[in-house]
Amino acid sequence: MKIAALALTLSLTLAAPLARAAANPPHPDAAGQRSMAFEPGLGDAARERVPGGRLVATAYGAVIVLIGAYVAFVARKAARVDEDLRRLEDDLARRGGDDAP
């Protein structure tokens, strides 16, 4: 029952943004309309209304933090598995010792 409720909630939550995207009808030249070439330009940081440098620094920070956090999470999991295995061995060894004549 809980799973069914979760599935229903999930479906309704996900349906809203999809419906919004589908509201735009397909267009025959959508790719052409979006096409853009990236070329070297003469950036003038002094005249920027939006501080681009700060945005790039934030993006770099986000990449480093997210990948770093995930690597730390994986490393912690690895350490925990090793610890669990050692504890299981200890438990079995102790139990074996208790049962010994």
Partner 1 sequence: MRWMPALAVIAFAAVAAALGMAWEYAPVAQEAAGGITQKIFYFHVPSAYVMYIGVTACVLGSLGYLLQRRPGWDALAQAGAEVAVVFASIVLITGPLWARKAWGTYWAWDPRLTTTLLGTLIFVAYLVLHSASGAGEAEKRFASALAVMGACVMPVIHYSVQLWRGQHPTVITSRGGGLAPAMGTTLAVSFAAFTVMAAVLLFVRTRIALQEARVEALRTQAVSLGLLDDEALS
Q: Which of 5, 12, 45, 100 binds partner 1 (CB under 8 A)?
A: 45
**Judged by CB under 8 A, how many residues of this single chain contact partner 1?**
55
Binding of residue 62 to partner 1 (CB under 8 A): yes
Residues in CB range of 33: below 8 A, 6 or more apart: 27
Are 45 and 52 a contacting pair, CB within 8 Å? yes
In DSSP notation, 74-99 reads: HHHHHHHHHHHHHHHHHHHHHHHHHH
Q: Which amino acid is at 14?
A: L
Q: Residues 19-38 vs partner 1: string with x where CB under 8 A? A: -xx--xxxx--xxxxxxxxx
Residue with tokens 């049962």: 99
Q: Which residues bind partner 1 (CB under 8 A)?
A: 3, 6-7, 10, 13-14, 17-18, 20-21, 24-27, 30-41, 43, 45, 48, 50, 52-53, 55-56, 58-60, 62-64, 66-67, 70-71, 74-75, 77-78, 81, 84-85, 88, 91-92, 95
